Amino acid sequence: MIRALAVSPSREVTGAEQSLLNVAPFLDSAGVRVTLAAPAGGAFEARWRDRGLDFRTLEFPVRRGMRSVDGRQMHGPVELVRTLWRSVRAVYGLTKVVRDTDADLIHSNLLMTHLDCAVAGRITRTPSVLELHEIVAPGLGRWALGVAIRLSDSAIAISDVSRDQVPSWARRKVAVIPQCVDLARFTGVEPSAAWRARLAASPRCPIVAAVGRIDPEKGLHVLVEAVARVRAGGVPLQLALVGSPGTDDGAYLASLVRMGNEILGDAMRVVPHVDDVAGVLSSVDVLACPSPLEPFGMILLEAQVCRVPVVACRSGGPGEFIEHEETGILVVPGDPDDLAGALRRLLDDEGLREKIRKAGEERVRGSYIAPVRARRMVSLYHRIAG
């Protein structure tokens, strides 16, 4: 039995946290007992404990990283010094938990804890694995990521694009293990009239949804413009944005609401983050992911297993597992006209919709399920932890 300590600074559950929740029970059945070390009192702890898994409270000091939220500006030297001191405190707390749990391996699940876990692993002589869920802006941030990976024993990239961001001098330690779906969460879920009524002012009309964080890098303004173009062509398409700000302070959401009010009126609704993702996905007609550089796009897999046709950008992770016009439709990043055309095609062509539904579901069930990903992670764990 390998005792793995999974480390996260998150209280709530978004994609990276759900990824860990998906595989943890299957790791356990394969001989890897995972304890989660994370801040207490949130949905992440509750859902982790619901699976019968061990939890240790670990509070992390707030750190802003090297750049501003939009990635455009470096923080000043005072903030960088504060970040360094807070990182020292984080490593100190983490090393105590590693020793208290007698962990055989440390698994860092988010960018902010990668260097913490790599250093704590060196101090405690415990192998460390860093899982790469984010795309880091070019420059000093990627150099720091490379340093963390070199200090660690291995890294897991969720896609080729997340691996290829790593500096070449650290890339040899990175293994690509794509995301997965926990089929149990989506089995037996039927379309819901109640959900459609919550997602759209006109629930009998077709609904396209975007589900996940509402942050600038998600490109949701392009989707708003695309839906307006579809509606201008006479199709009464409804838009549902389901989620809440993650890294952003809410300014982007406010701008989307203003934009929606101006060009969509009551044809756009915003629904804050929900746990019933399966209920939402099963009740919409199309799932869109307009992010121009999505590291992977697990929500796309979840939509596909719910037999919902998907539209995503050609760039980033989605282009690695979506086959154009077979398991989904791929569009030019940042192009509302191309996105509008893809939405119109799906809404107008019932044969294409059904082909994409069927092929998408089959692809996910064959290659992107939790037991498959867990087996690959267990093999990596055994290689570095013995």
The predicted-structure confidence for 146-185, as pLDDT tens digits, reads as follows 999 999 999 999 999 999 999 999 999 999 999 999 999 9
> What mean pLDDT is predicted for residues 27-46?
96
Between 188 and 357, where is the model more confident?
A: 357
Do 58 and 121 belong together in one domain? yes
Contact 14, 212 (CB under 8 A): yes
Together in a domain, 128 and 245: no
Q: What is the mean pLDDT of residues 187-202?
A: 95
Q: Examine the domain organization and report whether 270 and 334 are in the same domain.
A: yes
Indicate if the pLDDT at residue 264 is higher than 70: yes
pLDDT the model gives residue 69: 47
- E strand or H helix at 83: helix 77-101
Distance CA(111)–CA(335), nearest Å, equals 29
pLDDT at 341 over 60: yes
Indicate the pLDDT class of residue 329, thresholds 50, 70 and 90.
Answer: very high
Do 148 and 17 lie in one domain? The reply is: yes
**In 3D, which of 215, 287, 271, 278 has the Cα closest to residue 246?**
215
Question: Are residue 95 and residue 38 in the same domain, yes or no?
Answer: yes
| Shared domain check, 252 and 153 | no
8 contacts 38 by C-beta, under 8 angstroms? yes
174-176 and 105-108: which strand pairing? Answer: unpaired
Say what the pLDDT of residue 66 is: 52
| Domain CATH number, residue 324 | 3.40.50.2000
**Residue 170 has which token pair?**
């650290």
| Largest CA-CA distance found in the chain, in angstroms, rounded | 64
Give me the mean pLDDT over the 328-332 stretch. Answer: 98
With pLDDT > 70 as the criterion, what percentage of the chain qualifies? 95
**Per-residue pLDDT reduced to its tens digit, 206-249:** 999 999 999 999 999 999 999 999 999 999 999 999 999 988 89
Same domain, 203 and 350: yes
Q: Give the predicted TM-score (pTM) of the model.
A: 0.91
pLDDT category, 386, cuts 50, 70, 90?
Answer: confident
Asked whether residue 137 falls in the same domain as residue 249, the answer is no
| pLDDT, mean of residues 20-25 | 96
Q: Are 21 and 51 in contact (CB under 8 A)?
A: yes
pLDDT in tens, 5-19: 999 999 999 999 999
Predicted confidence at residue 192, as pLDDT, reads 94
Total domains in the chain come to 2
pLDDT score of 134 more than 90: yes
CB 327 within 8 A of CB 287: no
Task: Report which residue type is found at 362.
Answer: E
Contact 364, 371 (CB under 8 A): no
pLDDT at 81 exceeding the cut of 90: no
Contacts of 372 (CB under 8 A, 6+ apart): 180
Output the average pLDDT for the chain: 94
Cβ–Cβ < 8 Å for 284, 307: no
Instruction: Match 């009740």 to its residue by tokens.
Output: 283
65 plus 213 within the same structural domain: no
Sorting pLDDT into bands at 50, 70 and 90, what band is 322? very high
Six-digit token pair at 206?
């077709």
Residue 46 binned pLDDT confidence (cut-offs 50, 70, 90): very high
* 309 and 275 within one domain: yes
Q: Are both 199 and 331 inside the same structural domain? A: yes
pLDDT at 85: 73
Tell me which residue range forms the domain holding 224: 186-367
Is 30 in the same domain as 70?
yes
The single-letter DSSP state of residue 114 is H
Q: 340 with 333: CB under 8 angstroms?
A: no
